Chains A and B, each alone.
Chain A
């Protein structure tokens, strides 16, 4: 293509390149050689026609759970934070656990859309749209918790630099304030990135629409996209820039969330390893959630040729990598607790967390703390479970992947529980020790956010193409002008 004009004038033997050896050949990203038209029909078809029965059932359940979530918020607002199980010394309970958990889940979407894009991982195209949608809805669920845990929710706008009648400003020397900026920027940029990726696909929906309402709705949000190459040129540049901006963003968000903890003096929180450790954990849990969502969906929506087993395997490998980083971080926390020589650190890690009533506790000669089981659930799910992904059988068996992905999510929830609650419930002096247990409002509130998440996710499946149509088309051989399937003549004097 590059030296086209000179190549055209030369007459030479057609260049023959030996095909790569069989073992080096990669499975295609779209199975069975489907063409670009098939991709439009299949992906857009999910959001057309009448919804399947399982969709309706799931939607009713999710919407009910979402209502429970809002009722809990209403109860909390009208009565006060006393309806939660918080109390001295555990002043951060479920709300912060859930906040960190949900926002961590969000990280996979941006990682897939931004970092894997910069790394030219073409397989991301089959999963990025759904993962980005998951990010946005997860951040919405996350955002609820810090907002409602401030107690007087109607004063939540004090967090933003808006002039108020006290003429006082937010206090920018606190990581909690940085968090407000990190999370709100993360949400906004995720929505922008998602929407920009959607523009060409909304145009696909517009051009396929049969009814006037759909034509108008999709047409409005497609902004008049026509697929012009002059537009694509600017579009691809903007996409690259957004990917470049989202990469430092995704790394900064969970780093800043971790600073909420690590800037304080509390043993178990005051740790320099927190920023990278939180980011790795976030990506780990995010990929867990992507697998939980997409493994059943690819089957129910008959998308096995687009989200292939190879895609699932690759996601499992990312889970394995990040899970191993998390495991390393856990080990490093113990090392530093010992190496620092700080008795409070040692107590927090050895006695509060690791000492169980059966093996390690008796070995150390200490009585197990009340939450030892939370720590070991976390280790089992986050350190042991992902190691199964070393084996191909576990990566390619869809039921196994689904079950393990749920264990990953459970493990990461317990990680946040361990960090928040275990550190707080036994700190410097024993007179300051306590026990935390959630109330029914805590639990319903948490389950309710699943309702919120799935309500939005199901609506997304219904109305928006769940796979980036234009991007998947772009990675097929039919889209490559130098591939025989893309119309290139074999041995033609093009190069």
Chain B
């Protein structure tokens, strides 16, 4: 291995094992670390000390944009740019404009949720040191990993390894950059 590795990676076999380990790593005050699981483990956000996700804001802004776009678009098209009388109905009414605007609210709100999630997660990212690690492929199968990056101020090669061993990890390895 040339130079400093990217991170130290510890493998766990059970959901309970990784949850307890994450609680301890969080209590130790690490910052640049993460937990990798094949499915979201309940209680992990709290164990890691994560705050509520901000995805909701992206979706909210998307929804407001959608509704405003719908209403303004219909008003401009049917009442301003080319008004045509149809069945004596008003050129613009918020009631007949509501269904398309409602659909656009949902459409833009959904794009906001998906794209907001990808943005907050910095995805897509097709190259990552962890994706090059052979053992790490089990993270989508049935294993659970704690990964502590070597650039974390609290990281020390021997002490961090000892900590992870004491938490019950049976397989610990360094991840190349």
A in complex with B:
yes
Residues of A within 8 A of B (CB): 1-2, 4, 35-37, 40, 161, 167-175, 177-178, 181-182, 185, 188-189, 192-193, 195-196, 200, 203-204, 206-208, 219-220, 223-238, 241-242, 245-246, 248-249, 252, 256, 259, 470-471, 473-474, 478-482, 486-489
Contact A169 B77 (CB under 8 A): yes
Is A487 a contact partner of B39 (Cβ separation < 8 A)?
no
Q: Is the CB of B53 within 8 A of A233?
A: yes
CB pair B78–A37 under 8 Å, yes or no, is no
Can you name 26 A-B residue pairings with CB atoms under 8 Å?
A36-B39, A169-B77, A171-B84, A177-B100, A178-B99, A189-B106, A189-B110, A192-B110, A192-B111, A193-B110, A207-B138, A207-B139, A207-B141, A223-B124, A223-B125, A225-B123, A227-B140, A229-B22, A229-B35, A229-B45, A237-B117, A238-B55, A238-B113, A245-B110, A480-B42, A481-B15
Assess whether B74 is interfacial by the CB under 8 Å rule: yes
In the complex, the answer to whether A234 meets B55 with C-beta atoms within 8 Å is yes
Given A4-B23, A229-B45, check contact A470 B39 (CB 8 Å). yes
With contact pairs A171-B86, A224-B128, A486-B16 given, residues A248 and B140 touching in the complex (Cβ less than 8 Å): no
By a CB distance below 8 angstroms, the chain A residues around B131 are: 224, 226
| CB of B158 within 8 Å of the partner chain | no
Counting chain B CB atoms within 10 Å of each CB, which of A168, A185, A192, A227 scores highest?
Answer: A227
User: Does B41 touch A at the CB level, under 8 Å?
Assistant: yes
**Which residue of B is nearest A473, CB measured?**
B39
Closest 9 CB pairs of A and B: A487-B14, A487-B16, A37-B142, A169-B77, A223-B124, A238-B117, A237-B53, A207-B137, A178-B99
Per the bound structure, the CA–CA distance linking A172 and B15 in Å amounts to: 53
Instruction: Chain B residues near A481: list those with CB within 8 A.
Output: 14-16, 18-19, 41-43
- Let me know if B172 is at the binding interface, CB within 8 A: no
Binary flags per residue of B105-137, CB closer than 8 Å to A gives 1, else 0? 011011101101110110111111011000011
Q: A192-B114, A242-B110, A481-B19 are in contact. Are A35 and B126 (CB under 8 A)?
A: no
Please give the residue numbers on chain B whose beta carbons come within 8 Å of chain A beta carbons, in ascending order. Answer: 13-19, 22-23, 34-48, 50, 52-56, 59, 63, 73-74, 77-78, 81-82, 84, 86-87, 89, 93, 96-97, 99-100, 102-104, 106-107, 109-111, 113-114, 116-118, 120-121, 123-128, 130-131, 136-142
State A111–B162 Cα separation when bound (angstroms). Answer: 49
Q: Knowing A1-B46, A172-B77 are in contact, say whether A227-B36 is a contact too (CB < 8 A).
A: yes
Q: How far is the CA of A169 from the CA of B100 in the complex (A)?
A: 14
- With a cutoff of 8 Å between Cβ atoms, the chain A residues found around residue B63 in the complex are 245
- A237 to chain B: which residues have CB within 8 Å? 52-53, 55-56, 117
Do A252 and B40 have beta carbons less than 8 Å apart? no
Q: Are A200 and B117 in contact (CB under 8 A)?
A: no
Q: A252-B99, A486-B16 are in contact. Are A181 and B109 (CB under 8 A)?
A: no
Q: How far is the CB of B14 from chain A (nearest CB, A)?
A: 3
B89 and A173: CB pair below 8 A?
A: yes
Q: A172-B97, A238-B59 are in contact. List 20 more A-B contacts (CB 8 A).
A: A37-B141, A40-B141, A161-B73, A171-B86, A172-B77, A173-B78, A185-B103, A185-B104, A220-B126, A223-B118, A224-B124, A229-B22, A229-B35, A229-B44, A232-B37, A236-B40, A241-B113, A242-B110, A249-B106, A481-B14
